[in-house]
A and B are shown apart, each in its own frame.
Chain A
Amino acid sequence: MIPLSWWLMVSAALFSIGVYGALSRKNAIGILMGVELILNAVNINLVAFWRYVAPNDISGQVFAIMVITVAAAEAAVGLALVIAVYRRRHSAIVEELDILKQ
């Protein structure tokens, strides 16, 4: 069987790519995509840990389903906001949102 550490490495790589994307992207959509990668890394972790560490208790799987659902809700609100901004300013670049002073 594939050892647990392999799954964790995939997940850690995905998490790092996600964090990098979220921090380096200027487009709001790009940042949201980075967040989705982070959440998918979490799901890999949860399911892998469920299988290898606590296979008798399905909390890990249930947790992953909840994460998927909440991620969809969060993405829906995020996209709605991006559209609201885009309609008024014709841009989804975060750096150009500077009405509120820093």
Chain B
Amino acid sequence: MPSDYVPILIYLLVATFIAAFALVLPHYLGPRRPNPAKSDTIESGKLSYGDARRRVPVQYYIVAMVFILFDIEVLFFYPWAVLFWDLKWYGLVQIAIFAFLLVESYIYIWKKGAFKWK
């Protein structure tokens, strides 16, 4: 029923209002005295250096590619998890073999030093 979603709608409206309120009110009430340090990029308390648009070390790409591969392999756990009770031992053994292959390749990547940050 569409009416079931009314509480969610109210919740969204309230959340939007509070966020807007918190942003707009200081803008009008607070004093503004900008200086170079204030308008600089926030670097969690450290001093910032250089430009954000620069080449990232190639080492990072290996981690990124490995991440993408393992990330997508997780896709195959979802159908199994949904049908966990129906598939019984048959499904469990199959997913165990699949997981074993993933772990084996993970160990291989690890032992080959792909995660070492040089």
Contacts and interface: CB of A to CB of B under 8 A. Distances in A.
Interface of A: 65, 68-69, 72-73, 75-76, 79-80, 83, 87
Given A75-B68, A83-B61, A87-B58, 14 more contacts: A65-B75, A68-B72, A68-B75, A69-B73, A69-B75, A69-B76, A72-B69, A72-B72, A73-B69, A76-B65, A76-B68, A76-B69, A79-B61, A79-B65
Contacts, number: 22
Contacts of B58: 83, 87
Contacts of B68: 72, 75-76
B72 A80 contact: no
A76 B65 CA distance: 6
A87 B76 CA distance: 34
Contacts of B69: 72-73, 76
22 contacts: A65-B75, A65-B76, A68-B72, A68-B75, A69-B72, A69-B73, A69-B75, A69-B76, A72-B68, A72-B69, A72-B72, A73-B69, A75-B68, A76-B65, A76-B68, A76-B69, A79-B61, A79-B65, A80-B65, A83-B58, A83-B61, A87-B58
Interface string B67-86: 01100110110000000000
A75 B68 CA distance: 10
A75 B75 CA distance: 17
Nearest to B78: A65
Contacts of A80: 65
Nearest to A70: B72
A73 B61 CA distance: 14
Nearest to A65: B75
Contacts of A68: 72, 75
Interface in B103-118: none
Nearest to B68: A72
